[in-house]
Amino acid sequence: MNGVSYSQDTFRSLFSVARNGMLVYYPGSADLPFEMVRLDRNGKEDATIGEPAPFGQFSISPDERRIAMAITDRSTGNSDIWIHDVERNVRSRFTFGSLDEDFPRWSPDGDSLFFTMQENVLPDIYRKRLTGTAPEEALVTGEGWKAPFGASADGRLLVYTVMALTATTNANIMVLDLETDAEPTPFLAEDYDEFGGVLSPDGSKLLYGMNATGRIETYVATFPVPARQWQISNSGGIPLGWTRDGKEIIFAEEEGDIVSVGIEETSDDFVIGAPVPLFDASRYEAVTMTADGQTFYATKHPEDTGIDTITLISDWLAASKPEGR
């Protein structure tokens, strides 16, 4: 349906349909321009990153000097990956061609990007080096919607999410060994939707989202074998990441607050501190963080002052039928 907002955090369009035929949705469009802004830990905007554009997913490089971002070409409707140099405030195109590319994620050494490319109906996962002329390399292909989320510190293991478009299949977190020909293996085999996957700095834990409680919450499990699992959020939670010292986890609550939780890890325990709200991010489309947890980057519509309107259609089935039928 055209004109409906799309959440880059939950990967869902923002609408709901009642049994009596009423449809409610947040107006929006994938090709509307966003501003990208930088915020401090208190939520104060202190810089605008380049010119507004129809941004998709984006991520910060390991050295925090560059941002890889998906941008839709409004004339063709295709999305490409661009790289923005934060210090120079210069943006350069990274992928070319007529296919849609999205979900850029950096390799730990900052020399390559993982991303999706939609050559067929659903996106596959590719890797491409930032230097040289070698073409992108296909890593994960086949059925299902797929997106990369991160790699182990040594660059060997890729964590990604796959979701088959059937009523009986859930979204699952998968792990691919990039140095062997082994098939990808599921990280969890739960009867719930799991997505994301941010490894702790020492690689021993995985931070992810799961809807086991009926809504998405943030969890941590041991890695690579999920022998133990801890629930981090209790009011809805989209995981953002760990701080580089591994002592803090930051996530976005369902209502929009960015929240910090302290972590104390011992040889036999994983102690979760009380949640501490940092700032209200409900006006932003997507948010990511730097490794020290002190700086955030977010996208928003230039004229946006927060979502304050919704659209209601009383009989959307009748309204969607062509005239004369």
Lowest mean pLDDT among 34-38, 57-61, 74-78: 74-78
238-274, pLDDT tens digit by residue?
999 999 999 999 999 999 999 999 999 888 889 999 9
DSSP per-residue string spanning 155-193 = S-EEEEEEE-SSTT--EEEEEEETTS-PPPEES---SS-
> Taking residues 52-77, what's their average pLDDT?
94
Q: What percent of the chain has pLDDT over 70?
A: 82
Nearest Cα to 256, choosing from 243, 273, 237, 233?
237
pLDDT at residue number 267: 80
Q: Checking phi first, is residue 58 left (phi over 0); if not, alpha (psi -120 to 50) or beta?
A: beta
State in words which class domain 28-308 has: mainly beta
Q: pLDDT grade, residue 164 (50/70/90)?
A: confident
> Taking residues 66-93, what's their average pLDDT?
94
> Quick check: 216 pLDDT over 70?
yes
- The structure tokens 């230097």 sit at 131
* Residue 93 DSSP SS3: strand
Q: pLDDT grade, residue 97 (50/70/90)?
A: confident
**H-helix segments, 40-79:** none
pLDDT at residue number 10: 43
Nearest Cα to 197, choosing from 232, 223, 173, 233?
173
- Give dist(CA 117, CA 267) in Å, integer: 42
- Give dist(CA 209, CA 5) in Å, integer: 21
Q: pLDDT grade, residue 144 (50/70/90)?
A: confident
| C-alpha dist (Å) from residue 100 to 43, 125, 133, 219, 264 | 32, 12, 20, 31, 42
Specify whether the CB–CB gap between 65 and 295 falls below 8 A: no
178-214, pLDDT tens digit by residue?
999 899 999 987 788 999 999 999 999 999 999 999 9
Strand partners, 58: 69
pTM of the model: 0.83
